[in-house]
Every structure is written in C-alpha cells, then in structure tokens.
Amino acid sequence: MPACPHPLGAHMSIAGGLDRAFARAEAVGGTALQIFTKNASQWRGKAIDDASARAFRTAWEKSGIGPVLAHASYLINLAAPDTELWEKSKAAFLDELQRCARLGIPWLVLHPGSHRGEGEEAGLTRVVTALQEILADSPAEVGVLLENTAAQGDYLGGRFEHLAEILARVPQGRLGVCFDTCHAFAAGYDLAGPEGYRLVMDEFDRRVGVESIRAFHLNDSLKGLGSRVDRHEQIGRGAIGRAGFAALMTDPRFTAIPKILETPKGEDDAWDRINLTLLRKLAQGD
C-alpha cells in the first residue's frame, strides 16, 4: 500500500511515563498521537519535572510520530454555574495548558462543558469568560481545540452554532475545533454516506468554517443518528459505517489534519491496528 499522507493515530496510555506513549503509538502503526498529560480522573497531577519533559521531547524526536495532541480532564467544566466548580475548572485547565507547554504539545482538546440547567446562553457566556481569562494567563504557544459533543443532557457543543459562538467571542486566535465523528452523528449530523457527509461539512463550513478544524476524533457510533448517546464503536462497524469514513478520508481539505482514534482498544491494542489499517485503505479509495 502506498504511504498514507494522513497523520493517523490513537489516544495512548501514559502508564509508566509520558514518554512511553510514543512506543505504544508506533507499535500500532500510528503517525500521530493523543494523550492525557496526567490522570484524567484527578483535578491535578504530579508536576512535570525537567527530566520527564526532556524524556518526552527526546522520545518524540526519535519516533516516527508527527502531530501530538493532549486531551483535558473530563472533570473540567468551564460552563459550570457553580462558582466553586467554575473556579476549580479554570485553575485545572490553566494547569493543563502549562503542562502542554512543558512538553511542546501545541493543542489541548476541551469539551465545552455543561450548563447544568442554567440554559445554553448562560453556559456559553461562562465558557467564553473562562477562556478569555485563561488564555490571557497561559503560554501563548499552546492553543485550545473545542470538541463537538453528542448533545447529551445539558452539554454544550452538540450544535455547530455553539462552537461558532465561542470562536467568535474569543478572538485571540488560539482556538480551533476538534471534530468528533461519533459525537456529530449522535447529535443528529448524518455522516453515514458520501452525500450526508457533504451536507454536514457544508453546514459546518457555513456556521463555523472548515479551516477551524485542526484535528479529528475518528470514532464510529454504537448508537443511531440523533441518539444523543456517546458510545464509540470500531471504524465501519457502527451506525456511521465505512462509507462515511471513506468520504472523510478522501476529502483533500483534511489530508494534513491529524486524525485520532478513541475506539475500544481490545487486547494489546489490537483494534487500533485494525482501525488504522482500514482508514489507510479507505484513504486509497479501497
């Protein structure tokens, strides 16, 4: 098979050290990588010392991995109406941006958060205010990628308009979008075939702008269109199916954009290998 120009990879474990993620990524055939920079179920992690930062950067330089992204903790809720949680979330997110800067990671992926019943506009305003404050105090070399969500419950980001509003109201130029295929489909955007894919991307372009997409999360959907249920499935084995991913993998606008799997891994990360192989075949038109 000819070399695939798409930067493709998966979210990999950092067990045993941040730098070990690179060997794991290469073992499944990845050329891109996403990690948590700490335990995602904790508010704060152990500080990244000089030795750990050097080991990470050295492993990256010696590897065949190109783009590296980090994903913020799911505990963070910048839309929270509760002041204590909001302040705690802002501090945690600032810490994660600083951790990325230590490691040389240019993008940190963030879920916009839940308005907890206070309404979308109130929640969006909280997110915008938080990001304006955080970006003013954080390392300029790290940007934020807002991830679209499955529109479950009170979560923001299920509609493209939410992303557009945040991008428009935080004009520092350090924001982009991480487009999750499962989330979009679960939120009601039909990516299941070439025509559906075209219509969804046309709508995204009108409302947000495809140039804002700096990364993809490639996940099939276990549940149906508009289910608002975030359950990832292996590529081509869910409700989106192979045709939807083929349309994305052959869209020349996104060839250079990193694409990350967040699908169930199986024993010894076997499903990552299977999914990455399939995506490369789809990129070749197979």
Phi, psi (degrees; rounded to nearest 5) at 206: -65, -40
6 marked as part of a ligand binding site = no
Instruction: Say which residues have a Cβ less than 8 Å from residue 164's Cβ, sequence separation at least 6.
Output: 207, 208
**According to the annotation, is 262 in a ligand binding site?**
yes
**For the chain, counts of helices (H) and of strands (E):** 9, 10
Strand pairing class (32-35; 8-11): parallel
Q: Is 217 annotated as contributing to ligand binding?
A: yes
Beta bridge mates, 34: 11, 69
- Phi then psi for residue 256, to 5 deg, are -90, 0
Contact indicator for 145, 177 with CB cutoff of 8 Å: yes
Answer yes or no: is 154 a known binding residue: no
Residue 230 among known ligand-binding residues = yes
Is 115 part of any known ligand binding site? no
Question: Is 162 among the annotated ligand-binding positions?
Answer: no
| C-alpha 32, offset from chain centre | 12
Ligand-binding site membership of 269 (annotated): no
Asked whether residue 61 is marked as a ligand-binding residue, the answer is no
Residue ranges for the known binding site are 71, 111, 147, 180, 183, 217, 230, 232, 262
Residue ranges for the known binding site for Zn(2+) are 71, 111, 147, 180, 183, 217, 230, 232, 262
